Structure formats: C-alpha cells, structure tokens
C-alpha cells in the first residue's frame, strides 16, 4: 500500500447529525429566540409561569397517560434501561458475551471430559450472576418487580439442571442451552425503563402532583418549551427531535371560559408573530361514558364495519384499535365514505353538549374566529370534551402548528387528586417554517459597527472603542489582526455592517475618529463623545 493510500485509510470518520435531528444555526436561531421571547411575553400577560421539565421520565408515565393504542406509545418512543454500574451488570455482560473456549484439553480425572471443561465456566458465571442478582434484588439495587423475583428463582434451578446435564449431552445441545440461558439473563431488568419525552403534558401533571400544586391558588397556569422525541419517518415539518411550546391549566374548574382563554392566548401569540393563514378548528369529543363518547364510538364502529371493504389497511386496522382515528384519515379515496359517518356532536351527553356550546360562546365573546370540525380527534387517549387544532400556511401536509384539548381525568389517572385540565402544544419547528415561508421572519440584524484599525497604537484605541460601543449596546466587530483598510472595508460589507469606524495613526493623534457610512460611502470625523451621540441617534 502506498503512503498516500495508507493516509487515506486512516482518515477519521466524519460524523453527521442523526437522521431526524438537526442543528439550528445562525441566523435562523435568532428567529427561534424571537419566537420564544414572544411566547414568554405573551404567556406572562395571561398569568402563566414557566416550568422546566426533565427530558426523560419513566416509560410508564407516558404509557399510562398517552395510551397504549396510540402511535406514539406503540412505536415512536425512544426508551432505554437506566442501570447503575454493578457486579450484576458485569456478570450479565460476561454471560451475554460468553464464548465457549477452543481446544480445551480436559484435565485428567473424573471431571476430565471435554464437555465439562468447556461448559462448566459458563455455569460458574451463572452462579455468580445469580448471587449478585439476588443480593441486588434484596437491597433494592435492581427493580424489585415480581418478574425479576421469579426470573432469579427459576435461574438457580436452570443452572443446576444445566450443570448436571453437561456430560450427558453433546456440544450442540449444550450450546443451545447456553443460548437459551443467555436470553434468560438478558431478561433480568437491572434498572428503570426510561423514555425521552414525546410530549410534556404528562410531565406537567406529574410535577403538579409531585409538588402538591393543588395547595396553590387554582387554577395553576404553566407553560414550557423544549425538545420532544418521537421515532417518526423524517420529512418536512416532521423530525425525531422537534420542539414544542406548550401550556397547561390545572385546577378544580372546567369553566368554558378557561378553554376559551387558553385558545385566545395561542391565537394572540400567533397574531403577535404575524403568522399567516391561521385557521382554528374546534370540536368536542365528549367524555368516556355510554351516553356520550363510548356510545358514539360504538355507532361509529358499526357504521365503519359496514364500509370496511372500501377502506385502506390503516383505517381497517383502526376500526379495531381506535375507531375515532379513522376520522383523521387524509386518504383521498376514503373521504367520501367518511363524510357519511355519524357526527359526535349529535351524540354528546347533555353536560358535554352544554359545555361545548358555552366554549363557542366564550370564543365569540373574545372575538376568536373558529371553524367547527366534527372530524377533529386527537391522537392521544387522554383528551375529552374541547379539542382544537390550528393550522398555518406554507407547510404542505404537515400543516398543524398547534394541537390541544381538555384532559380532566389525567392527573387522577397518574395518582393525583381529581383535577381538571386543558392545554395545548405548538410545534415550534413548523411555526418557524411557516414564518420563514411567508416572509414574516423579522429581518436579520447585521453588525452595527466594523472597526478598521491599523497600527499598534490604533489597536489599543480600537479595543477601547469596541468596549465603549458594546457597552452602549451596539454590535461591534473588532478584527483580531491588522488589515489594510481596503480589505477591512470589504470585510465590513460582507458582514452587513452599517458603519466602519476607521482608526489609523492620524485618528489616534488627532483624537478624531472617522466614521464611514457603508450604504453611501460618506464619511465624517467625530470626537469619541460625539460619535456615541451620533450612533445613538442614527441606529
């Protein structure tokens, strides 16, 4: 191999962001900050306080709240086992990676057969694993679940049988047993099952319960922002790590005015950002009772069963798993059929129907324009009564920028006191995309002043000038090495600077600084004090 080829081969691997994740870079990040800053401001005017939540939680929290039949829990969660380093872990790794020794010369004597010498070490590992596992189990260093308990119990017996049968079996049979035992060992749970949060409502409810927030003046109004994780097929507006800005109202009341004010708050936020083509859809999905949603779902299922053959495979499956989700279908061929299905509004119980019409009235009082959409159901199990979704322009088929709704039973389901709740989550990535597409992103701020300096004395003055200007709040670029003025001015242009401050020997000895306006090339001399005054007025 030539030297060149050898070098090429050693070239270090280049890394790329994982599919479905991405870097957000300047200048785009300025827009993200602007959006987030606006959320802080608008939500504060509605009396919401910020909550910052962990990125991961017990898998069980999401499984129980979001629902096992949802896409999120069934296939989109990033989960992992969180274990402490321990001897159990070491023995487990040793067992899982165990390989039968080659060329074993059986020692002489009664135990001297090849098979025993080969496989007895595996059995010894099992014994050590069992002892360490048992101790960890007793001391609660690994989860004390019934599954772990019985797994450990069974393992002793299986080890005994394995050990006593080694000599009466051939290598192939012993190997098969080793593989089976490896699988058993793998099943011992060493730590908690954790999941990167796919959404934050469950975490907010967990925090509400954990910190006894029902003792605070009700309702408790919280908002959050940050990354969420779902294993989805990446495409425009759909990522595996994406960002949400959301809010929740938790407390004793489900007054329709609360629903309306929450919706008004999102709409105010979008309005402030000048988001274009905003469309609010609302619906009520009632509550889980025979005279309300459950009764409706039965009727829906019956109607769907009749037209089953005309539906695609996804919808056919959903008739069994989650019939409401069929209404969500975007398949062109299914639209005419779906249009003939019964509407939930005709099947709401008296209380839910009254709540729904009061919410609409409250929205009207606030001047919030909405469209009723009987097909709007949410993909998470915990929603009831009011549900809503907001779409915006420029997003193609991923055009939902906000989803929300009421979830009165959720806190109780997670072991808390009976509590009413409503909230929403905005897809920040899509919000930003829509703002960019419609040209409503605020213009990018360039540098205010580029300091073109030449000479050692001028450098000292330039450093001082940068300090003074930055303190006054201007964005200043101070080149680290001396440049010819021509080159410096070209650089200032590229950075979009408005002014170049020229500092050479003359300027320093005169105490007069030259300011060049880059847009028209005009220049003027100022004392330090006058310069600051001038920039303050003109920038």
**Contact letters for ligand ATP, residues 440-479 (x by CB under 6 A):** ----------------------------------------
Cβ at position 63, least distance to ligand ATP in Å? 15
Q: 499-503 and 513-517: which strand pairing?
A: antiparallel
Q: Does 123 bind ligand ATP (CB under 6 A)?
A: no
Distance CA 33, CA 392 (A): 20
Three-point CA angle 338, 340, 342, nearest 5° = 95
**Crossing angle of helices 313-321 and 293-307, rounded to 10°:** 140
Binding residue for ligand ATP (CB under 6 A) from 199, 248, 381, 448? 199
Total site size for ligand ATP, rule CB under 6 A: 18
| 401 is a contact residue toward ligand ATP (CB under 6 A) | yes
Q: Which of 143, 403, 416, 421 binds ligand ATP (CB under 6 A)?
A: 403
Picking from 255, 263, 287, the residue whose alpha carbon sits closest to that of residue 384 is 287
Nearest approach, Cβ of residue 486 and ligand ATP (Å): 47
Judged by CB under 6 A, the residue of 204, 275, 425, 535 near ligand ATP is 425
Tell which residue, 377, 212, 364, has the closest CA to residue 285: 377
Question: Toward ligand ATP, which CB reaches closer, 104 or 400?
Answer: 400
222, 48 contact by CB (below 8 A): yes
User: What x/- string results for residues 151 through 190 when contact with ligand ATP is judged by CB under 6 A?
Assistant: ----------------------------------------
DSSP string, 265-321: HHHHHHHHTT-SS-EEEEEE---SSTTTHHHHHHHHHHHHHHHGGGS-HHHHHHHHH
Residue whose CB is less far from ligand ATP, 199 or 477: 199
Closest distance of CB 403 from ligand ATP, Å: 3
Give CA–CA dist 344/354, Å, rounded.
Answer: 14
- Lookup result for tokens 């300027």: 507
Burial level of 22, CB count in 10 A (0-12/13-18/19+)? middle
What residues are paired with 400 via a beta bridge? 391
Q: How many degrees, rounded to 5, is the angle at CA 492 between CA 491 and CA 493? A: 90
Identify which of residues 232 and 528 has a Cβ nearer to ligand ATP in the complex.
232
For residue 30, count CB atoms less than 10 angstroms from its CB and return exposed for 0-12, middle for 13-18, buried for 19 or more. Answer: middle
Site track 216-245 with ligand ATP (rule: CB under 6 A), x = hit: --------------x-x----xxx--x-x-
Minimum separation from the CB atom of position 76 to ligand ATP (A): 8
For the record, the structure tokens of 46 come out as 């509605």
Which residue in the shown chain puts its C-beta closest to ligand ATP? 427
Q: Please, which of residues 354-393 interact with ligand ATP by CB under 6 A?
A: 379
Indicate which single residue of 311, 402, 451, 462 sits in contact with ligand ATP (rule: CB under 6 A): 402
Do 504 and 475 touch, CB atoms closer than 8 A?
A: no
Using CB under 6 A, pick the residue from 143, 286, 423, 427 that binds ligand ATP: 427
Least distance to ligand ATP, CB of residue 173, Å: 49
Nearer to ligand ATP (CB atom), residue 230 or residue 318: 230
Which residues bind to ligand ATP, rule: CB under 6 A? Answer: 199, 230, 232, 237-239, 242, 244, 379, 398, 400-403, 425, 427, 429-430
């Amino acid at each position: 191999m030539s030297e060149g080829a050898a070098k090429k081969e050693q070239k270090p691997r280049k890394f790329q962001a994982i599919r479905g994740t991405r870097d957000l870079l300047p200048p785009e990040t300025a827009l993200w900050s602007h959006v987030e800053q606006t959320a802080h401001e608008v939500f504060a005017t509605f009396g919401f306080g910020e909550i910052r939540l962990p990125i991961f939680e017990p898998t069980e929290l999401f499984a129980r709240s979001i629902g096992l039949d949802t896409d999120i829990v069934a296939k989109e969660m990033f989960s992992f086992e969180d274990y402490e380093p321990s001897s159990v872990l070491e023995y487990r790794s040793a067992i899982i990676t165990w390989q039968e020794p080659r060329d074993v010369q059986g020692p002489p004597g009664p135990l001297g057969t090849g098979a025993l010498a080969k496989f007895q070490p595996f059995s010894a590992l099992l014994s050590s694993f069992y002892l360490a596992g048992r101790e960890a189990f007793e001391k609660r260093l690994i989860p004390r679940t019934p599954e772990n308990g019985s797994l450990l119990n069974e393992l002793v017996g299986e080890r005994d049988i394995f050990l006593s049968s080694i000599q009466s079996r051939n290598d192939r049979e012993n190997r098969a047993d080793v593989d089976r035992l490896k699988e058993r060992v793998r099943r011992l749970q060493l730590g908690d099952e954790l999941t990167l949060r796919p959404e934050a409502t469950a975490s907010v409810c967990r925090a509400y319960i954990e910190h006894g927030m029902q003792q605070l003046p009700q309702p408790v109004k919280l908002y959050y922002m940050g990354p969420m994780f779902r294993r989805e097929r990446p495409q425009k507006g759909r990522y595996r790590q994406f960002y949400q800005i959301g809010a929740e109202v938790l407390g004793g009341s489900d007054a329709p005015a609360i629903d309306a004010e929450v919706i008004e708050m999102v709409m105010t936020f979008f309005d402030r950002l000048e988001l274009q083509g905003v469309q609010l859809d609302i619906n009520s999905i009632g509550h889980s009772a025979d005279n309300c949603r459950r009764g409706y779902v039965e009727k829906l299922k019956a109607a769907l069963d009749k037209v089953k053959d005309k539906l695609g495979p996804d919808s056919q499956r959903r008739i069994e798993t989650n019939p409401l989700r069929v209404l969500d279908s975007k398949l062109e061929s299914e639209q005419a059929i779906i249009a003939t299905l019964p509407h939930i509004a005709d099947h709401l119980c008296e209380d839910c129907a009254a709540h729904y019409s009061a919410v609409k009235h409250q929205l009207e009082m606030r001047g919030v324009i909405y469209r009723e959409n009987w097909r709007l159901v949410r993909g998470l199990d915990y929603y009831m009564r009011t549900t809503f979704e907001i779409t915006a322009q420029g997003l193609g088929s991923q055009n939902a920028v906000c989803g929300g709704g009421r979830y009165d039973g959720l806190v109780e389901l997670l072991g808390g006191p009976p509590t009413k709740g409503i909230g929403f989550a905005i897809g920040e990535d899509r919000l930003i995309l829509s703002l960019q597409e419609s040209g409503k992103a605020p213009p990018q701020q360039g540098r205010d002043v580029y300091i073109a300096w030449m000479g050692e004395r001028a450098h000292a003055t330039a450093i001082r000038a940068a300090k003074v200007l930055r303190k006054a709040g201007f964005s200043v670029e101070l080149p680290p090495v001396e440049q010819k003025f021509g080159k410096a001015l070209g650089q200032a242009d590229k950075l979009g600077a408005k002014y170049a401050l020229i500092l050479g020997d003359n300027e320093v000895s005169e105490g007069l600084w030259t300011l060049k306006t880059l847009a028209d090339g005009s220049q003027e001399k100022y004392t330090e004090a006058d310069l600051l005054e001038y920039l303050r007025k003109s920038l």
